[in-house]
Amino acid sequence: MRTFLFSLQKLDRRIIFLGMALSIFIPLLFPFSLPFRVSKEVQATYDQIEALPQGAPVLISADFDPSSMPELWPFFQANLHHMFANDLKPVFLTLIPTAPPLVWPEIKKTADLYNKEYGVDYAFLGYKDGKELVIKNIGQNIPQQFPQDYRGNPISSLKLMQGLKQAKDFPMLIAISSGFPGINEYVLQIQGLYNLPMIGACTAVSGPDYIPFFKSKQLLGLSMGIPGSAKYERLVQEKDNVQSFSSSGAQSLNVLSLSHVYIILLIIVGNLSYFLTRDMEEEDGSN
C-alpha cells in the first residue's frame, strides 16, 4: 500500500494523458445519455418560442464561426427544427464573414425536411460588414441594409419580407452569438430601443455577462455554452412533430462531463496520496 501511494505521486504523465483521451473518445465511440436538469434560462427560451403563433416571423442572427461551432451549432440546429416544426417563418442573417457557408446548407437542408418554400416560409439575408452599425441599421431599415438576400434576390421580391421593414416588425429576435458583435450590441441597439422580445445563445465564457440581461427581462431566454445547447436540444427533440436530428449537444455534454469527472478524480487521488504519504515520511524522519 505504501509503495502504491508513493507511485501515485510519480505517475507517468503519459498515463494521465491517456486517461483524458479515453474520457473524451469513449462517449464519442459509444454514445450514452447522462441525466441533466434543464435550467430556467433554457426552459424560458423554449417556452417563449412555443408561445409564438403559427406563421409568426422571427429574426435570427447567426453570429458564430468554426471556432465556436462546438458550443453553438447544437443550439442553431435545434432552433431550426423548432422554427419549422412550429410553422414559424425565420429570417436569418449574420454579422460574421465565415458564417454563411456554415449556416446556409443547414438552413436549406432542414427547410427541405419540413417542405418549406424559400422566400415564403424562410429567408437568408446573408452577411453584411459593419458590426454594430449594421445592427443599428437593422433596427431602422432592413431593406436598406440588405437590399439583396444571400441568393442575390431583391428583398422586395420575397413574399416573407413584405411588411418587415424594421426589427420591431418581428415579434421576436434570436441572437446566436460567439462574441462581438452579438448579444450585447443587439440589446443596446435594438432590444433596449424598441423593447423587442429577444432570446440569446452564447458561448460558456460569455454566459455570466448576459445573465443580468435575463434577470432584467431584456433577454427572455438564454442558452449558455454546450450545457445550454444540449438542454434546448433535448426539449426540441421531445416534440412530437420534430424530424429526427443528431444529438450533437448531448454528445458534447457527455464528453465534457466525463472529462471533468476524470480531472476531479485525479485531484482527489493526488491529494489523498500526498496527505497519506506525508504522515509516513514524518514517521520515517523521526525514526
pLDDT digits (tens, 9 = 90+) for 166-185: 999 999 999 999 888 889 99
Tell me the average pLDDT across 21-50.
Answer: 83
Same domain? For 138 and 119 the reply is yes
215 lies in the same domain as 114: yes
Question: Are 265 and 151 part of one and the same domain?
Answer: no
Say if residue 263 is exposed, middle or buried (CB neighbours under 10 Å; 0-12, 13-18, 19+): middle
Tell me: do 153 and 128 sit in the same domain. yes
| Residue 201 contacts residue 175 (beta carbons within 8 Å) | yes
Residue 6's pLDDT is 63
Q: Is 279 found in the same domain as 181?
A: no
Mean pLDDT rounded to a whole number for the chain: 87
CA distances, 214 to each of 3, 95, 157, 209 (Å): 54, 23, 37, 10
Instruction: Please say if the pLDDT value at position 79 is more than 70.
Output: yes
Q: How many CA atoms lie within 13 A of 256 on its CB side?
A: 16
Look at residue 16 and tell me whether its pLDDT is greater than 70.
Answer: yes
Confidence band, pLDDT 50/70/90 cuts, at residue 100:
very high
**Neighbouring residues of 2: CB distance < 8 A, sequence distance ≥ 6:** 277, 280
Count of residues for the chain? Answer: 287
Asked whether residue 57 falls in the same domain as residue 169, the answer is: yes
Same domain, 68 and 183: yes
What is the residue-wise DSSP string for 190-227?
IIHHH---EEEEE-GGGHHHHHHHHHTTSSSEEEEHHH
Determine which of 61-65, 80-84, 264-268, 273-277 has the lowest per-residue pLDDT on average.
Answer: 273-277
Give yes or no for residue 216 having a pLDDT over 90.
yes
Q: Round to whole Å and give the CA distance between 210 and 200.
A: 8
3-state class of 52 per DSSP? coil
The CATH number covering residue 185 comes to 3.40.50
Task: Say how far apart CA 100 and CA 62 lie, in whole Å.
Answer: 9
Residue 115 shares a structural domain with residue 172: yes
Whether 282 has a pLDDT exceeding 60, the answer reads no
The three-state secondary structure class of 63 is strand
Residues 183 and 58 in one domain: yes
Q: How is residue 153 written as a grid cell? A: 434576390
53 DSSP assignment: P
Q: How confident is the model at residue 60 (pLDDT cuts 50, 70, 90)?
A: very high
Domain count, the chain: 2
Q: Which domain holds residue 167?
A: 40-246
- Same domain, yes or no: 77 and 193: yes
Do residues 166 and 94 share a domain? Answer: yes
76-115 burial, b if ≥16 CB within 10 A, otherwise e? bbbbbbbbbbbebbbbbbbbbeebbebbbeebeebbeebe
Are the C-beta atoms of residues 202 and 222 closer than 8 Å to each other? yes
9 and 130, same structural domain? no
